[in-house]
Amino acid sequence: KVWDAVDTGCCLKTYSCHSCAVRAARWSSCGRRILSGGFDSTLHLTDVETGKQIFSSKTEFRVSALKFHPTESNIFLCGGFSPEVKAWDIRTSKVLRVYKAAVQQTLDVLFLPEGREFLTSTDAVSRDSADRTIIAWDFQSAAKISNQIFHERYTCPSLSLHPKESMFVAQTNGNYMALFSAQRPYRINKKKRYEGHKVEGFAVGCEFSPDGTLLVTGSSDGKVFFYNYHTSRIIRTLSAHKEACVSATFHPVLPSLLATCDWAGEIKIWQ
């Protein structure tokens, strides 16, 4: 569904190209197309105005994560319930590269600045080891750069890149967000830890504000937490939803607007 978020709050259009739950949807850089993937193991690139499918393909796994390349607008990464992440080219409708790790599921994908490297967060956590929880990849060669980034035994359902500094955060199922360097060797910042919200097994999203001063996250108790990026202190909380708040995202042009959504499917826009 495409919504008018600023004026009426109404649903403008509905596209019914999937036969099962849609797990990931991304706007293209031009803002005229939506890339979607879901539990029917299909990928669709839909023209927002006409509703036609510009690109459609079947994958061997249920899709749970999609990301467009930051500089190559025709290339995207696709991950899900599989040990593989695939790079697709929309122009040829073919797979460019395959990135394979000894995991069962990819939870999130994050391109680092310029798109030469990217990170995947996975479900690979054992009782005595946390290697492969976050993996860094070379985009061109498909080689693993590092899989010893996060050593605590929690999965990380979402990753977010700082808009101005070479840093990224990982949401963890330990009920805190961890801060890392976005340059090799991707070290964790042990002095900053953003805690107070709850994750409790939900795929709770986190994001930096457009100016990089705030860090916002949902919480399994329905609240939204705003953290000061520099001090890691909670600035304020919103009692946003009755169900678990699984995502909070800033408007890319109007920084005072925030969208939140909950586990029951409710979406709210906040000033």
- Is the predicted pLDDT of residue 61 greater than 80, yes or no? yes
Residues 114 and 4 in one domain: yes
Structure confidence by residue, pLDDT tens digits, 83-105: 999 999 999 999 999 999 989 99
Domain count for the chain, please give it: 2
Pick from 122, 151, 180: which residue ends a domain? 151
User: Are residue 158 and residue 103 in the same domain, yes or no?
Assistant: no
Residue 135 sits in the same domain as residue 201 = no
**Per residue in 229-246, pLDDT tens?**
999 999 999 999 999 999
Question: In this structure, are 240 and 140 located in the same domain?
Answer: no
Question: What's the distance, Cα to Cα, between the start and end of the chain in Å?
Answer: 22
| Whether residue 199 sits in one domain with residue 181 | yes
Do residues 37 and 110 both lie within one domain?
yes
Q: Which residues contact 197 (CB under 8 A, 6 or more apart)?
A: 175, 204, 217, 218, 219, 220, 223, 225
175-215 residue pLDDT tens: 999 999 999 999 999 999 999 999 999 999 999 999 999 99
Record the tokens describing residue 10, joined without a space: 């109404």
Domain with 10, as residue range(s), is 1-151
137 CB burial (10 A radius; 0-12, 13-18, 19+): buried
Query: Are residue 3 and residue 131 in the same domain, yes or no?
Result: yes
Q: Are residues 44 and 175 in the same domain?
A: no
